[in-house]
Amino acid sequence: MKALLQIFYNEWLGLYRNKVLIGSFLLLAFVLALTAWMGVKKQDQLTIQTHSASNYARSEWESIGPMNPHSAAHEGTYAYYSPGLMSSLDEGILSQVGRVLRLEGHVQNEMAYSARSQEAIYSRFGGLMPSLLLQWVVPLLLIFLSFRSIYQEKEQGRITLLLSQGLGIKQILVGKALAYFSIAIIALLSTVLIQFIFLEFSQSSDIARLVGFVISYILFYWLIVSLTIVLSTVLKNATGALSSMLAIWVLWMVLLPKWTASIASEKYPLPSRFEFKQAMKDDRSKGIDGHNPSKDRINKLRDSVLAKYGVSSDTALPINLDGIVMQADEEYGNLVWDKHIGGVFESFSLQKRLSQWTSILNPMHALKSASMSFAGTDMLHHIHFQKEAEEYRRSFIKKLNDEHAYGGSKTGDWSWQSTEEFFKNIDPFKYSTVEISKYKRYWQVDLLILLVWSASITVLMCLISKKHLI
Amino acid sequence: MSAISIKGLKKRYASHPALQGVDLAVQPGEIYGLLGQNGAGKTTTIQILLGFQSPDEGTVSLLGKTPGKDRSLTKDVAYIPENVSLYPYLNGIENLQYFSRLANIHVTKNEAENLLIKCGLAANAHFRLTSTYSKGMRQKIGIAIALAKSAQIFLLDEPSSGLDPLASNELTQLLRELAANGKSILMASHDIFRIRETADKIGILHRGKILKELHSADVSASDIESIYLEYMKM
């Protein structure tokens, strides 16, 4: 253990006394700290904006005054997606999918106001997030720092002197790997620490996410360092080690993700926006429409309502038949939506499963998936919000339709108004990020894959014999 | 008991026989010079003695222990390679202290300075980065590292290669001093003069076999050269 620490310390000393390396590291640390700080500021800004917009929407709703409930359903309300503090580390798909959902009668809207649609710089360059640096820059720095580490000991003949001092091969390899690994850990922890301090992580769920996030990166960085060390040991020259690692890097970061996306979309295709809307429209048109109801369905429903109240005409009903018809239409529309969005969600789920299988070949994918999952910014978290918002929309519209039907108006009376008090009593939409345990079967697979990769490369490193070194 | 004992040592690299039955023994307080041209098997012999490689056949023992199997040997064996490569970002003292710490030996700054002076490294070089050192200066650090171990056995691979005459002479004096203190030394070299000056016994190694053993006290350097050249023609 002592010798291991000596090697570790000596590697650090070497880095410290190399002005170029220490300069690069300080630059990276500065950029990471700056990015983390910017992430914190952006998170603060988003929280303020979300609260402000949410409060404004609510105040608009509460000051709606006396109004016909169906008109109020068309006024609608808004659901604002606030994915949680961790999203400042990895924004995942947030920049594409938007954060605001308009909730109204008859229709399930898409989310709007994505960062990409709001900020030109986003659409051109993407956002500078800590995850971008942690996933791209830090591993590349580790490769460049460590690709010569063992090779130069062999090339310069120091390895025999080291071994003759009683060092084991494992001590040399692991000691060096730990030194480079610690650089990554410092970069990672300082980034996370800035977020932790300034964003006031206090809820255990956020801390659990933060721990999971850190563990994912720790496993990946160890994998990168140990793999580079192994290649630096077994390959005949440093150029071979560097080019092999860069080839693996390109494969993991660029080629495999593209191939995976192509295969996944080929095997489990998603409908285009147009196809989806058209299919919804077709299915819905077969049913009852609140404004233009199918005669048959209306008549059937009307007959059953008249029979229930024992009257022979709409005007004789003590309630408003229009409200009942609109709710029936809403429920039919919900069935259509569930059918189509269910298919989309199913495809997402299958695509996710397929891409997780490819993580066996591409641990970088497992890292990205785990990172987004712990940050609460992956597709699963997005779908969870959409489902919660849709559930709220259904209960919201039902309350309005029921008020229209049973609030005191008569069939055909579209000028009837409900009280302001009624609208105020409808609870606003509240959303809190889902517990991380809900998706554990996904992130557990990601972590397992990273663990197996790291452990396998560590075992490989321990199997290296003297013949590779001398 | 011999401090170093090699019996019937054979080693083959693919189709090339590196050692074809080497026998030699080095007693405590003795310097054995392994003389041979490049590719004769000198380095292979030393690497097997260090436990870096395993023999195909034959037995090797250092102080009665088998190298590569008995880890306690590392504290008893010091090795000085032909080209002592140090960490260029450390100075002479730091290199000596670092390599010693790896062998679990704590060398204070004073002790390190004394060792380096003993090895002939001028005091004004002690705190210079070793990236500025000549080969001879690095060799002296290598010897100091070996001395710091207080080992019983010293294995030297071409120790005088690249050294100037003065440094070579200092090396000889140092090794003789070590031998006088009971240390066993095996040095491989192709420098006939230096090996004659330094070693008590000389083994001429050619194509993996020791063809002749000579006592340096009985022969002059020119005699050794004649014998050596004669065997090289075989």
Model confidence at B82, pLDDT cuts 50, 70, 90, reads confident
CB A71 within 8 A of CB A291: no
Candidates B77, B79, B85, partner chain A, best to mutate (most A CBs within 10 A): B85
**Do A6 and B101 count as a contact with CB atoms less than 8 A apart?**
yes
pLDDT of residue A446: 93
Distance separating alpha carbons of residues B184 and B49, to the nearest angstrom: 13
Domain enclosing residue A247, as ranges? 2-468
Distance separating alpha carbons of residues A28 and A133, to the nearest angstrom: 9
Answer whether residue A113 shows pLDDT above 60: no
Q: Does residue B90 sit at the A interface (CB-CB below 8 Å)?
A: yes
Distance separating alpha carbons of residues A97 and A35, to the nearest angstrom: 22
Answer whether residue A293 shows pLDDT above 70: no
Of A200 and A420, the one with more pLDDT:
A420
Average pLDDT over every residue of B203-220:
86
Instruction: Write out chain A residues lying below 8 Å of B84, CB-based.
Output: 161
Answer whether residue A453 shows pLDDT above 80: yes
**Do A160 and B98 count as a contact with CB atoms less than 8 A apart?**
no
pLDDT in tens, A196-225: 777 776 677 788 889 999 999 999 999 999
pLDDT of residue A18: 85
Burial grade of A268 (CB within 10 A; 0-12, 13-18, 19 or more): middle
Residues 6+ apart with CB under 8 A from A189: A214
A314: left (phi over 0), alpha (psi -120 to 50) or beta: alpha
Percent of chain B having pLDDT more than 90? 49
Give residue A304's identity as a one-letter amino acid code.
Answer: S
- Sign of the C-alpha dihedral computed for residues A341, A342, A347 and A351 taken in this order: positive
Average pLDDT over every residue of B61-82:
88
**Chain B residue with the nearest C-alpha to that of A469:** B52
Average pLDDT over every residue of B157-177:
85
Model confidence at A286, pLDDT cuts 50, 70, 90, reads low
CB A416 within 8 A of CB A408: yes
Hey, which of A160-164, A177-181, A462-466, B66-70 has the most confident mean pLDDT? A177-181
- Checking DSSP bridges between strand B16-26 and strand A77-80, what pairing results, if any? unpaired
- A51 three-class SS: helix
Q: How many distinct structural domains can be found in chain A? A: 1
pLDDT of residue A123: 46
pLDDT in tens, B183-207: 999 999 988 888 888 999 999 988 8
Of A37 and A321, the one with more pLDDT:
A321
**Average per-residue pLDDT in chain B?**
89
Distance separating alpha carbons of residues B43 and B9, to the nearest angstrom: 13
pLDDT of residue A366: 94
Instruction: Write out chain A residues lying below 8 Å of B85, CB-based.
Output: 156-158, 161
Which is nearest to A150 in space by CA: A118, A117, A180?
A: A180
Distance separating alpha carbons of residues B22 and A330, to the nearest angstrom: 96
Candidates A148, A161, A469, partner chain B, best to mutate (most B CBs within 10 A): A161
Distance separating alpha carbons of residues A226 and B64, to the nearest angstrom: 38
- B17 three-class SS: strand
**Do B101 and A167 count as a contact with CB atoms less than 8 A apart?**
no
Q: Between residues 140 and 199 of chain A, which touch chain B (CB distance below 8 Å)?
A: 156-158, 160-167
Average pLDDT over every residue of A283-310:
72
Distance separating alpha carbons of residues B184 and B151, to the nearest angstrom: 9
**Average per-residue pLDDT in chain A?**
85
CB B27 within 8 A of CB B3: yes
- A123 three-class SS: helix
Percent of chain A having pLDDT more than 90? 24
**Do B50 and A160 count as a contact with CB atoms less than 8 A apart?**
yes
Distance separating alpha carbons of residues A140 and A343, to the nearest angstrom: 39
Model confidence at B163, pLDDT cuts 50, 70, 90, reads confident
pLDDT of residue A462: 86
Answer whether residue B114 shows pLDDT above 90: yes
Average pLDDT over every residue of B141-148:
92
**Do B90 and A160 count as a contact with CB atoms less than 8 A apart?**
no
| Whole-Å CA distances, B67 to A29, A119, A163, A384, B152 | 46, 69, 12, 64, 14
Which is nearest to A84 in space by CA: A373, A398, A417, A412?
A: A373
Average pLDDT over every residue of A226-250:
90
**Do A164 and B78 count as a contact with CB atoms less than 8 A apart?**
yes
**Do A466 and B53 count as a contact with CB atoms less than 8 A apart?**
yes
Bridge partners of B61, per DSSP, are B5
Of A124 and B177, the one with more pLDDT:
B177
Answer whether residue B165 shows pLDDT above 70: yes
Answer whether residue A290 shows pLDDT above 50: no
Model confidence at A248, pLDDT cuts 50, 70, 90, reads very high
pLDDT of residue A34: 84
Interface pTM (ipTM) of the complex?
A: 0.89
Bridge partners of B17, per DSSP, are B12
What residues does each domain of chain B span? 4-76+151-232, 86-150
| Whole-Å CA distances, A234 to A156, A241, A466, A469 | 16, 9, 10, 8
Q: Considering the domain B4-76+151-232, what is its CATH architecture?
A: 3-Layer(aba) Sandwich (3.40)
Q: Give how far the C-alpha of residue B81 lies from the chain's centroid of Cα atoms, to the nearest Å.
A: 7
